[in-house]
Amino acid sequence: MKKLLIRLGNVDRRWIFLLIGLSVLIPLLKPKWIRIPIETTLNTQVVFDEISKLEENDKILISFAYGPSTKPEIHPMTIALFNQLFSKGVKVYIVSLWPDGVIMAKDAMMQILDSKVFNLEDGKHYVIFDYKVGGEIVIKNIASDFRGLYMQDINKISVANISMMEDIKSIEDFDFVFDLSAGVPGNAEWVQYACDSKKVPLSSGCTSIMVTDAIPYVESGQLKGILAGMPGAAEYENLVYDFMINQNDNKFILNYDKIYPGKATSRMSSQSLAHVLMVLLILFGNISYYLLRKRRN
Amino acid sequence: MSFNFEIIGAWLVVLMTLSIFSYLYGDNIFYKAAEHIFVGISAGYIFAITFWDQIHPNLLGRLFPSYIDAGYELELSYIIPFILGIFMILRLVPSLSWLARISIAYIVGMAAGLKFYVFINSNILIQIKSSAIDFNGSTFDVINQIIILIGVFSGLIYFFFSKEHKGTIGKISKLGIYFLMIKFGASFGFAVMGRISLLIGRFEELLTYSSSEFNYATPIVFVIMIIALGFWSFQDKKTSLNQDDSVNKITR
């Protein structure tokens, strides 16, 4: 047994890559084999509750700061967030702080429009603005002078001709800010440069790697909950899905048959299995290392 | 002859993804090519988007409004950023490269000034306020806040180097190390989770593109790549064996 454990410690790393690959691939190919229940954590519930407080014609500013590389984690949050907002008749304003954020925003909006669940009109229910270079400088300008920064929307239509832009001058004219980010600028910059000083409620959906840095803001109430990586997305998707299918007379939802749970939920089996494997590998690796060191001594 | 750009895109996605994954087997030509293409395209894309979305409308649109219609009027104050930008480019001219220091000094000074207030407000004052214990909360909340307060205090003591870490200070700083280790462990766990999520995303796309709709892009590229890697690996072995033989002959 000892020999086997020591030999396991010296196994070629390529076998480990293969095992990790299989642990991700098998649940994707055979989703029925492994089903792990998803329980809502407090931070996700807070996000859902805060968004639920918004009412018809309230205004939300959504910041896109992620790209294709982090799409699997954040895009499901975006789709679920749009679903919750549009089913409440909230007006959505989209800005991009990453160059590929615009592509992500357009893709997410296209998915919502293609689903035909809502009857949405560009410029009336939502507006998308182009990417602006500058990161935190852009956030600071959004906080003080939104119109000075964004003169026209992504379709080159002047903001003066967009009806939902009538009362928007600075960040204080929004009822909520939601940050979808995978790095810098992200939720920390929104907290520091805009929402703390202007006292606008802010929430965030971010990649797993950002969560430990963002948690102090959540604990202090500077962030109203957080959607933490893929598990956060899966939990939020389930909450929004349950909310939407249980709405009997929602005037904003046109087609109940087209409501589906999102993609993050189906990905969680792969995530969980890969984590179990990682834990086992760390455990065996350490035991093997301990035995090897003992033998050498 | 018409091209289906969606299928071409799918094949490119599969080729690039599998080329990057091939590094897990070992460094090879597919990986090198994909790496260079990625870096080149990213740099070109950022350059183009920065020029057309930022410099062209916001700077040139304000300096030459009669030529560039970006919705702005003539603003002569924008000559200053225009000159600072030119100073940055002058870094490429050795005799005038010192001018770039002026632009860099402006950027650093402005960033420091901007960050100073917001950091003190959001990351120090509000964080200190929130680490105070609210005894009106539930027992669970009070215990949680006490743990956070102990963690903050002991963590700060660990980074306090004006006094030797012995006795009580040593014990508190050791406690701080445990809190830091828990933080690093959590960060590592979240980092692993993030990477696995990205892997899931790539695998999902590879599975989508393995269907007949995309002319079986994934299995075909995968097989071609394995054959090519196997062939090169065999060639490399043959070359190294020949080299070993010639070295042996010389040493004899």
ipTM of the complex: 0.88
The mean predicted confidence, pLDDT, of chain A is 93
Q: Give the Cα separation of A223 and A217 in Å (integer).
A: 5
Distances (CA, A) of A192 to A251, B39, B123: 38, 32, 8
Name the DSSP class of B137.
Answer: S
- Residues B97, B104: contact at Cβ < 8 Å? no
A170-227 pLDDT, tens digit per residue, is 999 999 999 999 999 999 999 999 999 999 999 999 999 999 999 999 999 999 999 9
**In this structure, how many other beta carbons lie within 10 angstroms of the beta carbon of residue A247?**
14
B107 touching A (Cβ < 8 Å): no
Kindly state the helix (H) or strand (E) to which residue A65 belongs, with its residue range: strand A59-65
B224 touching A (Cβ < 8 Å): no
Q: Give the Cα separation of A171 and A178 in Å (integer).
A: 12
Q: Give the Cα separation of B101 and B84 in Å (integer).
A: 10
- Chain B residues with CB inside 8 Å of A158's CB? 71
Question: How high is the pLDDT of residue A133?
Answer: 83
Q: How far is A149 from chain B (nearest CA, A)?
A: 9
Report, as ranges of residue numbers, the positions in chain B whose pLDDT lies below 70: 1-3, 244, 247, 249-252
Q: How far is B41 from chain A (nearest CA, A)?
A: 13
CB contact under 8 A, B24 and A25: no
| List of residues 6+ apart from B22 with CB closer than 8 A | B28, B30, B31, B225, B229
Average pLDDT over residues A110-119: 95
Most A CBs within 10 A among B13, B55, B190, B200, hence the mutation to make, goes to B200
Q: Please indicate whether residue A8 or residue B231 has the higher confidence score (pLDDT).
A: B231
CB contact under 8 A, B192 and A278: yes
B65-101 pLDDT, tens digit per residue, is 999 988 788 999 999 999 999 999 999 999 999 999 9
Contact residues, A window 30-59, toward B, CB-based 8 Å cutoff: none
CB contact under 8 A, A158 and B201: no
B85 touching A (Cβ < 8 Å): no
- Burial class, A144, CB count within 10 angstroms (exposed 0-12 / middle 13-18 / buried 19+): middle
Name the DSSP class of A4.
Answer: H
Exposure string of B65-74, with b = 16+ CB inside 10 Å and e = fewer, is eeeeebebee
Of A65, A70, A210, A207, which Cα lies nearest the Cα of A139?
A: A65
